[in-house]
Amino acid sequence: MKLWVHASILKSAFANAADKKADDDTSNVRPLKKLDSTCSNKSSVSSDGLSTRKEEWVWVLSEVIAGSTQDLFATYAHNSVTSPKRNNNNTTAASTADATLTIRVLDPENDYADEVIKIAREHINMVDGGRGVLPANTFEENQALPSDLTQLTHLHEPAVLDCLHRRYQLPSGWEMYTSSGPILIAINPCRMVKALYNESTMKLYQRHGELLANGGRTAHNNNNTNDKVSSSSSSPPPPPHVFAVADSAYRGMIRGLDFARNKKLIEEKKESSALSNQSILVSGESGAGKTVTTKFLMQYLADLSRKVHSDHTATEINGKSSIEQRVLNSNPILEAFGNARTLRNDNSSRFGKFIEMRFSDRGRLLGAFIDTYLLEKARIVGHTCGEQTYHIFYEVLAKGSLTEAMRREMDSEEVRHLWML
């Protein structure tokens, strides 16, 4: 059996073993390598002058050599019960308190790699009331990793992060997305992934969304042989993707509008909007990909809108941009005035934004409202070494962006100060 063991437990157990060995008057003991009980940040400087950060992983994968994990987990359950009636059995409490577990550290990058260590109850109680030793999920060599974290046998911090890490290392790059129920977790691959956001991928999720909207079932849900939907109409679901989130929101809006229309509630604006309005929250730290994710969400929703906009082709032929294209074209303007280069991201949004896309009762995109807030104004006059101010200043002053006459008109103390930014 494999376990996740907190690093502070290994440190304490190994130190106790070393002290005991010294008390027995043994020979030289290997000096203990220091391990922190919490994540420590290590900073370094890359070749391009940007600082990088590496976080130390505090959970260590190990395997059981001797002892029963049932006793240890039972002790945790026993200690977690607050009722005094459960503490009457002193014999059980004493036996489980003396339980020990012998493990071998499997993580080759850990300071205790291949070490055999005995863990006692006192060590486990050091972390979160006995949650310092947790069971690990077992993945067979040819077994596909679950695309939804809710499918994991054991669902806790090290199990979740281990699954995300395994999926991230797969070569295709599509596994950067993982579902956790209705939540989509995205890990920035920091590289271009082939065909991840092209038109064929967009159509794949649109077809799947239409199948579900028309009453079809995905293959993994079609377990009932007496189902009215024929097996030919079922298809395996596409992998988790930001397009799937956008499609689900759009179909939910359409279902709400259809329900309001069928119930003749379209005039009652409050009830109609409550049924049809959808929200998508994009959050994450700097460099996680929030800006790019938002653009792909808007792109997908605009493309779905074109399907119900019968005259969009004629509009584009006549030389006028469609409303969908104009909404998408607003992104570069926002990024020019609100995005800048930071140590972790070359196109970091230095402001928050709330984007409201408005659709007709038939699902046609009518326009968008964008509200911005918390702009980092201090960046205009100063920034950290290695970072830059907002893109718009460099775009305006770039070679070829202004004629010579325009430059002479702008030749002032204020403009010369911008060059220093």
37-41, 195-199, 261-265, 318-322 — most confident range: 195-199
- CA-to-CA separations, 59 to 3, 29, 131, in angstroms, rounded: 10, 25, 12
| pLDDT over threshold 60, residue 311 | no
Confidence label for 12 from pLDDT (cuts 50, 70 and 90): confident
pTM of the entire structure? 0.75
Task: Report which DSSP code applies to 144.
Answer: P
CA-to-CA distance for 180 and 151, rounded, in angstroms? 9
Work out the pLDDT band at 33, boundaries 50, 70, 90.
very low
Give the pLDDT of residue 7: 85
What's the mean pLDDT in 55-62?
A: 78
In tens, the pLDDT along 116-165 reads 888 877 777 666 666 788 889 988 877 889 999 999 999 899 999 999 99
Q: Alpha carbon 7 to chain centroid distance?
A: 25
Give yes or no for residue 198 having a pLDDT over 90: yes
> Does residue 94 have a pLDDT over 60?
no
Instruction: Give the span between the Cα atoms of 402 and 1, in whole angstroms.
Output: 68
Q: For residue 286, what pLDDT is reported? A: 83
Instruction: Report the residue count for the chain.
Output: 421
Cβ atoms 147, 127 nearer than 8 A: no
Task: Quote the mean pLDDT of the chain.
Answer: 76
Find out whether 4 and 134 touch, Cβ atoms under 8 Å: yes
Tokens 């920035």: give the residue: 188
pLDDT of residue 417: 56
Q: Which of 24-38, 87-101, 175-189, 396-410 has the highest mean pLDDT?
A: 175-189
Task: Read off the pLDDT of residues 128-142 as tens digits, 9 standing for 90 and up.
Answer: 666 788 889 988 877
What DSSP state is assigned to residue 148?
A: B
Spatial distance between the Cα atoms of 350 and 335, rounded to a whole number of angstroms: 9
At residue 52, the pLDDT reads: 44
Q: What is the DSSP string of 43-84?
A: EEE-TTS-EEEEEPP-EEEEEEEES-HHHHHHHHHHHH---G
Q: What is the mean pLDDT of residues 310-328?
A: 64
Please tell me the predicted confidence (pLDDT) of residue 225.
36
Which comes out higher in pLDDT, residue 396 or 375? 375
Judged against a pLDDT cut of 90, whether residue 336 lies above it is answered with yes
**Strands annotated E in 86-127:** 100-105, 116-120
Cα distance between residue 129 and residue 349, in whole Å: 40
**Tokens coding 180:** 């956790």
Residue percentage of the chain with pLDDT more than 70: 68
Mean pLDDT across 320-338: 85
The count of other CB atoms within 10 Å of the CB of residue 52 is 12
Question: Average pLDDT, stretch 157-184?
Answer: 93
Instruction: Please state which of the ranges 52-61, 147-156, 344-353 shows the lowest mean pLDDT.
Output: 52-61
Lowest mean pLDDT among 58-72, 240-254, 273-287, 303-317: 303-317
- What pLDDT score was predicted for residue 389? 93
At 298, is the pLDDT very low, low, confident or very high (cuts 50, 70, 90)? Answer: very high
Express each pLDDT in 245-297 by its tens digit.
999 999 999 988 888 777 665 455 555 555 689 999 999 988 888 999 999 99
DSSP assigned state of 98: T
Of the two residues 311 and 247, the one the predictor is more confident about is 247
Closest of 361, 339, 366, 342 to residue 350, by C-alpha: 339
* Mean pLDDT across 221-226: 40
> Any idea where the domains of the chain sit in the sequence?
2-134
Distance from C-alpha of 291 to C-alpha of 336, rounded to nearest angstrom: 13
Give the pairing type, strands 2-6 and 133-135. antiparallel
